[in-house]
Chains A and B, each alone.
Chain A
């Protein structure tokens, strides 16, 4: 690995600073379990439409504390099941000042989550993401439904090798022609000199896309 540049060192320091800030924030929020209220928030939601029986949710004589046994079956009561991480989220993540949660739920995931793919991948987020954690899975399987199934080395290459905007969620279909991703490899291929000989396409005549080896002459 090459020596770390001064810019990298500065970046690393900033990253550590960010994580430290995050740790402080975590420590500050430890006292806010999911189903208990926090007096600092006050009544975020208007209670106009709530049942008249306050004791359904609140401890008597202490309005800002919800009953320890308070549970809310979201599917049964609201007709909308909370799956994965949503089942562990604090109520106020969705029910807050923005307005009725229902009007955001109809937008699907994008109603609450910023669409970092800028609308380019459509509304079906679960095609790549799971609800338990946001980590994308099954990319090799996904490419079996494209014009470029990931054979050989392509099945283990990092996403950004073919999709340059992957880190920021910008996925654009890569052209399946070899040269689209291997343009720099082509320029570096001097023994023999590919560009000089005009070998700029039909790579499959010499190269096998499933091997680490640079070329296999058939």
Chain B
């Protein structure tokens, strides 16, 4: 027999061999169709359950419209649904995907609950129970409609008005034991959202803080300042899945492009099919400081954010902001941002602030300058290990608005700092972690770097115990230091505690040999408490000893979410 005749012969042989089995399957097995109603990577929930004849362990084949079939095994069952685990954990089946399962014909019409061999023979047949009268009339139901109506989501304007938010108290104080200096602050704040505040589905946001701070130093005036600051007092309409347009006015942090800062004004944005968004804003910019005084800096801004698809895992955004200080032109700022967050692989986030200078800007001269940039590339590996690469750049922009520490002309012209860093964390068994960090920086005068390596151990010493140990070395602009730290703690059901010690040895740059070595010791004790009802409490105390001085500090943080 030649090769060609072999090719013709083989299918007949295979068909003959498989025919008896197929016939047997047809006689004893049947196929039920099913559909995916919910899914995640490697798993799916099906619209068929025990009453439909499915059992744990049954094989199921899903047939996506595009791509290869997905095979899996039923791992959980309820009366009318089933959980399916895919053979390939990386596959994802979209809701609505059709499929089928081949099950023994005898299951059809069989009792849906697992048989009880001991009690099945003796248990009496339960008497049928009459269903109570349906309390709800048929309303608009007509023949042919499903008996169970769809469950439409209520629109925000149809819901009862409600509050949520949190309040907090923060207190932090420090004294030196020589009694000459002290710093401290106390803050009481509230962040409140009033949903459907006026019956139109909008949200009223209010966030503010009462802030008291003091600074006592020798040979200078003490500072005692107190004030109430509103970070947000705004009304927001839309911007949800019912309404693609969004309008917010009042005082608020700009939503579309937070890089443009807090605004006393209004922001409007829209969403187009596919998920891309765009927006404009105008208003006054409060100064970003303790008091946030406003009505000197006016701004106009616009932005556009492109997303590759509805998942928004790839996006690019660009915006432009023009500001005026006391009605005089001030800053022209471009901000661009790129975000890439694939399901698996490397995340990439980058942003850049680019100032456009005109002849009006006497210090910098006309042109473009990158005044701030951030780049971050990160990866989370199987098992929880992580790797992060980062780079930053900062320079002072020329602007009349007060937004940065006071700088002189030389600093404005020359100051810049760049930093690159690598941070990694590896684990082999989720209880023992290795941690490394490397960094390097350069500025207009100097350059340096840092390195740190450490171990983190969970479930050591006692139940829930954890320990951290690390060593580090840093080359700074005014000092070189090396040191180490050690901490033990315990994770409790409602919080944690930790006790740590750190030794740093400073070698100060530019000092005589007799004064340039300064050891520094820190001991810190902290306790956190959290409750399911929204309470959160943290307290810490720290003792610092350096050269011949001692200082102690203590603080609390209390908040309640509601």
Contacts and interface: CB of A to CB of B under 8 A. Distances in A.
Interface string B20-45: 00000000000000000110111101
Interface residues of A, number: 114
Contacts of B210: 11-12, 14-15, 18
A55 B390 contact: no
Interface in B528-543: 528, 530-532, 534, 536, 538, 542
Given A141-B485, A175-B411, A204 B441 contact: no
A116 interface: yes
A103 B441 contact: no
B283 to A, nearest CB: 16
Interface residues of B, number: 156
A151 to B, nearest CB: 5
Given A11-B226, A52-B81, A78 B549 contact: no
Contact of B231 (A23, A168, A176): A168
Contacts of B208: 18
Contact of A103 (B183, B190, B311, B450): B311
A107 interface: yes
Given A18-B208, A103-B311, A175-B407, A132 B79 contact: no
Interface centre among A12, A132, A156 (most CB of B within 10 A): A156
Given A47-B151, A135-B557, A146-B476, A168 B47 contact: no
A167 B226 CA distance: 13
A198 interface: no
Given A145-B452, A156-B544, A170-B288, A180 B311 contact: no
B534 A88 contact: yes
Interface string B388-399: 101010100000
A40 B403 contact: no
Interface string A97-110: 11110110011101
Interface stretch (B103-111, B121-129, B324-332, B508-516): B508-516
B316 interface: no
B477 A176 contact: yes
Interface centre among A157, A158, A185 (most CB of B within 10 A): A158
A122 B347 CA distance: 13
Interface in A5-59: 7-8, 11-12, 14-15, 18-19, 21-23, 25-26, 28-29, 34, 40-53, 55-56
A155 B544 contact: yes
B118 interface: no
Interface in B114-173: 150-154, 156, 158-160, 162-165, 167, 170, 172
B363 interface: no
Contacts of B495: 132
B49 interface: yes
Contacts of A4: 226
Contact of A204 (B37, B443, B508): B508
A202 B510 CA distance: 9
Contacts of B378: 124
A61 to B, nearest CB: 9
B390 A14 contact: no
Nearest to A170: B288
Contacts of A106: 311-313, 339, 341
A185 B478 contact: no
B301 to A, nearest CB: 13
A8 B159 contact: no
Given A50-B38, A53-B78, A212-B176, A29 B258 contact: no
Nearest to A158: B183
A174 interface: yes
A145 B452 CA distance: 9
**Chain B interface mostly:** strand
Given A132-B528, A135-B538, A210 B228 contact: no
Contact of B78 (A15, A55, A160): A55
B4 to A, nearest CB: 52
Interface in A153-170: 153, 155-158, 160-165, 167-170
Nearest to A127: B423
A193 interface: no
Given A118-B258, A155-B522, A172-B404, A132 B479 contact: no
A136 to B, nearest CB: 10
Contact of A155 (B156, B190, B403, B546): B546
Given A51-B37, A51-B81, A158-B185, A183 B406 contact: yes
A55 B192 contact: no
Interface string A111-142: 00011101111111000000011110100110
Interface string B239-257: 1111000000000010100
B152 to A, nearest CB: 7
A152 B546 contact: yes
Contacts of A196: none
B154 to A, nearest CB: 4
A210 B549 contact: yes
Interface string A174-207: 1110001101110010000000000000101100
10 pairs of A and B residues whose beta carbons are closest in the complex:
A15-B210, A40-B160, A42-B154, A97-B240, A25-B163, A11-B228, A51-B81, A170-B288, A53-B80, A22-B167
13 contacts: A18-B188, A53-B49, A53-B80, A103-B312, A122-B349, A123-B349, A149-B479, A149-B481, A152-B506, A173-B417, A188-B219, A212-B178, A218-B511
Given A124-B376, A146-B476, 16 more contacts: A41-B159, A52-B80, A53-B79, A97-B156, A97-B242, A106-B311, A122-B376, A132-B530, A146-B441, A151-B546, A152-B506, A155-B522, A158-B215, A210-B518, A212-B218, A218-B512
